[in-house]
Amino acid sequence: MDDLPSPNDDERYTALISELRTIHGQLRKNNLSENPALIGDYLGKLRLNANLLFSFLNQYLDVLTELEQHVATKRQELYEAEIKEGKSPSASESHSRNLTRVDEARVKTIENRINQIKNEYERYNGICMYLQSRMKEFNTERMLG
């Protein structure tokens, strides 16, 4: 667990984000949100690609679970070793926490990477919701005449 994974080091993740950014750029550049014929196509592309982010999210959740288990086990072992040496429970707890501070920072790093992926998903999900509302708006206009 010395080398923590980063989504930005994963070629598949960076390709996916690049594709999402390209689609978003095309939407903005060509003002496609005003073209009802193309909204559905772009909405589908965005939604399918944005949902792929969940596979990366699940990978990082697995890493987080393993890392948290590792930290808890290490902390418990350190605590028990201090108790066996005759130290008080509070001193043993303090000692075990101090010796697992770096590990706790690693847990936070993985949590931040999970948030990074969630933020990317929310960004593109928001664009999808906007496109859906535009489609509904165009449908309503078409029906009303």
CB 46 within 8 A of CB 20: yes
Instruction: Return the structure tokens found at 28.
Output: 């903005």
Q: What are the tens digits of pLDDT across the range 84-115?
A: 999 999 999 999 999 999 999 999 999 999 99
Q: Which of 37-46, 49-58, 103-112 shows the lowest mean pLDDT across its residues?
A: 37-46
Ramachandran bin of 31, using left for φ above 0, alpha for ψ from -120 to 50, beta for the remaining angles:
left
User: Exposed (0-12), middle (13-18) or buried (19+): which is 48, by Cβ within 10 Å?
Assistant: exposed
The angle subtended at Cα 21 by Cα 41 and Cα 4, nearest 5°, is 125
- CA dist., res. 31 & res. 90, Å (int): 63
Instruction: Return the structure tokens found at 128.
Output: 């999808």
Phi, psi of 144, rounded to the nearest 5 degrees = -80, -15
- CA dist., res. 122 & res. 80, Å (int): 43
CA 4 from centre of chain: 15
* pLDDT band at residue 2 using 50, 70 and 90 as cut-offs: low
